[in-house]
Amino acid sequence: EGSAYWIANKAIREALKVLDGRSKNTAFLDALLEFAGLPRQLSQTNAHALTTWLYARESSTELANFAPWITRLAEHNPSAKLLLEDAGKSLAELVEAILQQGSFQHPVTVSIGGSVLKYSMPTKNAFLHHLPKTCTFSEPMLPPVLGATLLAWLSQNPWSTSIIDHL
């Protein structure tokens, strides 16, 4: 939830509602047609071409690449901004769920990884707003792979946690 794929999937669903008459908001459809390299016009031919294009995607990553288009759309479209804010709220709810499953010393420091929270300010702002009050937020000090490596090393060498103070 809240990932680039999640955002793209929600936006695609909104776009398809225009094609079947359940919505008049064409912003998501226009963005999707442009992303897919199809003409921005409503027609049966175009609807068929878009459906064919969607089903031809071989991985969720290909569809996740649509999320940055939604971030750009959110600069002037309230529906896109709301979708990104929902993504941030969903990510904060995941943090809350994790906190409920474990015993943590509070406050818990939360950091982020991934492109959505790095590049989508509506998503990041909503995430921070909905983050549980028992958490503090810290911008990442290292790229995710180095942070994970450090955490793995520290789990095997707990006596050396002072290394973090020297970063």
Question: At 78, which helix (H) or strand (E)?
Answer: helix 78-101
Q: Backbone phi, then psi, for 137, in 5-degree steps?
A: -110, 140
- pLDDT tens readout for residues 117-139: 989 999 999 999 999 999 999 88
pTM: 0.84
Quote the pLDDT of residue 12: 94
User: Does pLDDT of 160 surpass 70?
Assistant: no
- pLDDT tens readout for residues 80-112: 999 999 999 999 999 999 999 988 888 888 888
The Cα–Cα gap between 59 and 87 comes to: 21
**3-state SS assignment for residue 135:** strand
pLDDT band (50, 70, 90) for residue 34: very high
pLDDT band (50, 70, 90) for residue 39: confident
Angle at 132 between CA 131 and CA 137, to 5 degrees: 55
Number of residues that this document lists for the chain = 167
- pLDDT tens readout for residues 19-30: 888 988 899 999
88 touches 124 (CB < 8 A): yes
User: Does pLDDT of 164 surpass 70?
Assistant: no
